[in-house]
Chain A
Amino acid sequence: MRSAIHLASAALALAALAFGAVPSAVAADTPNPPADAKAFRDFFTQKFPKVKLEDFVNGPYSMNEDLHRQWEEKEQFPPYEFSVDMGKEMFSKPFKNGKSYADCFPNQGIGIRQNYPYFDEKEGKVITLELALNRCREVNGEPPFSFLKDEMAALTAYMAFTSRGKPFDIKIPDDPRALEAYQNGKRYFYTRRGQLNFSCATCHVQSPGERIRAEVLAPALGILNAMPIYRSEWSGMGTISRRFTTCNTQIRGVPLNPQDDEYRDLEYYLSYVSNGLPISGPGARP
């Protein structure tokens, strides 16, 4: 344990000092999602005027020319092809009880990814695509998959593929619990955590386009549109759950369980503020 105690608290103290108060406008107390979404989009379009709005979904590849060329090279025959085919095959194979995923989703699960996550007013919580898929399995007497990769990545890859080009269309119903879930997701997004004391915003709002060692940071606008992703780093597929939990670990924060409320709300917030941007999943990433 090389990191001595003064090190940790010193780093923390200095981080707190450095983030001195910015004379920011008084944030309205009741959250105003439409205004947030507009401010969110304007922040990134003004920060990167040369990037077309729909290109933000390409993450680091919209930030760096050398990376963009490597991406185009991979997109000719992308490594996630196998995952999409596997997902398509799983969609066509019925469960033991004869039903299949198509029976659990509107429009047989085709071309609907852009509507997820949605707020379920009966349950009073956010339902993500990954959660809905595992619930569909459990309702039909099948064991749930890991939320992180392999089968779950294949299913979400296929569903995303069938929605390519459709703009994110996340709704916040007139229900105080929905507003609270949205606000909870926003709070998580901006809250600094882990010994490195980073929040999602530290990297994806303050420093998109900059490098963190070898990787160029993606802008937060449209950051979920390409999910699930085949990352060279993982040399395999990963879902939104895998990305959230590995991000936590990288900044030395203990990740929560995949699909815990915080992550569901975070996905709700991030998808909502990217409304209007096209689904581009599944994606390839460094």
Chain B
Amino acid sequence: MKDELKPRIVKGPDGIEFEVDPLRDYYCEASPSVHPPVYVKIVEDFFNWARSESLWILGFGTGCGAIEMRPLMTPRFDAYRFGVQWRPTPRQANLLMISGYLSTKTLKRAIRSYEQMQSPKYVVGLGSCTINGGMYWDSYNTIKKLDEYLPVDLYIVGCMPRPEALLQGFEDLKQIIRAGKAEGANQYAEKFEWYKANQKKVIHDWDMPDYNW
């Protein structure tokens, strides 16, 4: 565990000393909860339509697939016209693109990023390596099945998928969301223990709270 995360006595600017336990004091540890749909179907459908048409992606390139997002952000493919845009912080994003393999080191950051995002939120796995390890199937440092660690709503196949395939993926994700089937975030809340166990199995230095939103 890093030094700054260990409990310690801190002297404030006013000269008073107090105890700080960063993991307890700096984060909220309440686990996630399931968001049920609203009672009226037409309202829920409207919500889903609205959600589907504003996919805000967290600008976190976890692997090589990130390079094909650049063309999407620029005029040639221009994903913005489809309601897709990239945001610099998880707080503003509802779609996490896992752009390829995740090393265990990045997995930890990806989990934290995901948990900081607002529900309803979606995860898309990009490329073979999120499905079954891809070409890093025998690597000691990358996870093989993304859905063991994060709830995945859609996979786009390719190594790496082209921008056009990504656009198709966004369209398909919109369909899923509109149909009310993009239940990844709720699934994560429901099977929270299971996901945590899987995550902790591969992240050996777990120096963060179990849920950090």
Chains A and B form a bound pair:
no
B interface residues (Cβ-Cβ under 8 A, vs A): none
